[in-house]
Amino acid sequence: MVATPIGNLGDMTARAAQTLRDADVIACEDTRVTGGLKLHFGITTPLTPYHDHNADQVRPGLLARIAEGGAVALVSDAGTPLISDPGYKLVRACADMGHAVFPIPGPSAMLAAAVTAGIATDRILFAGFLPNRAKARQDAIAELRGLAATLIFYESAQRLAETLADLNAVLGARDAAVCRELTKLHEEVRRGALNDLAAAYADAPTPKGEVVIVVAGAPKVEAEVSAGDVDTALRQAMQKLSLRDAAALVAEQLNQPRRAIYSRALELAKDK
């Protein structure tokens, strides 16, 4: 599984180029696109098309080739294969048949966007492409509404304005970034609240190129804890600890704001 550049050929790793040279065959989405890459890197390995429309027919032949000891390299047009691109069924079949599968990691638009957006990266949900139809798209966005994780979407430039409008309508004015043409000559990252980005792109001519949208996740919700739970925990803690320490402990244990728990501890202490 060989990653290739998402625009800038300088991002091809030495290991990716060598793996493509050493393979017996390169399975690729579009032989013209990968043909260009071969030419640039002086690779002479033969190509065979492997894409959404022929994968089921072609896969048995590739597996037979591997069973005979051949090495098959899989690439997509750009970036990392399997990431919103074909390949997982081939990997699954290899695993089922006991054939080794090796990742040759490298560029991927989702990671390039994640590290450029300026939005939290501790939890990320990669949502790939949203559905084409408006209702299905809005429903798909609504499913992600409560998630406390940064959301990453692939999108075509033609549909960018429409999708930003839907994201804003369903998720509200969260922080977001539109990352366009990453690693290429006209690379552009626009950061802002979803409502501002949606308005800006609604009024502008359709941008050119490829786009990733990054959207901040829902704020982390504090666990729902009843007032009774808080009082019980505070009373117990206050038997052994100072009021301040008891409040700190309970706030930590119940994942509640310290200030609110401390005020409640004061009230309980007064009632005593």
Site for ligand SAM, rule CB under 6 A: 6-7, 76, 78-80, 83-85, 108-110, 154-156, 179-184, 210-212
Q: Least distance to ligand SAM from the beta carbon of 231, Å?
A: 51
- The nearer residue to ligand SAM, 207 or 217, going by C-beta atoms, is 207
CA-nearest of 183, 238, 233, 237 to 212 is 183
- The nearer residue to ligand SAM, 58 or 157, going by C-beta atoms, is 157
- The nearer residue to ligand SAM, 166 or 181, going by C-beta atoms, is 181
Q: Least distance to ligand SAM from the beta carbon of 184, Å?
A: 6
Q: Least distance to ligand SAM from the beta carbon of 128, Å?
A: 8
Q: Least distance to ligand SAM from the beta carbon of 79, Å?
A: 2
CA-nearest of 248, 253, 252 to 265 is 248
- 3-state secondary structure (DSSP) of residue 75: coil
- The nearer residue to ligand SAM, 50 or 154, going by C-beta atoms, is 154
Which residue is closest to ligand SAM by CB? Answer: 79
- Tokens encoding 196: 């501002």
The H-assigned helical ranges of the chain are: 14-22, 31-41, 55-67, 88-97, 109-114, 134-143, 160-171, 194-203, 227-240, 243-253, 258-271
Return d(Cα 173, Cα 17) in angstroms, integer.
43
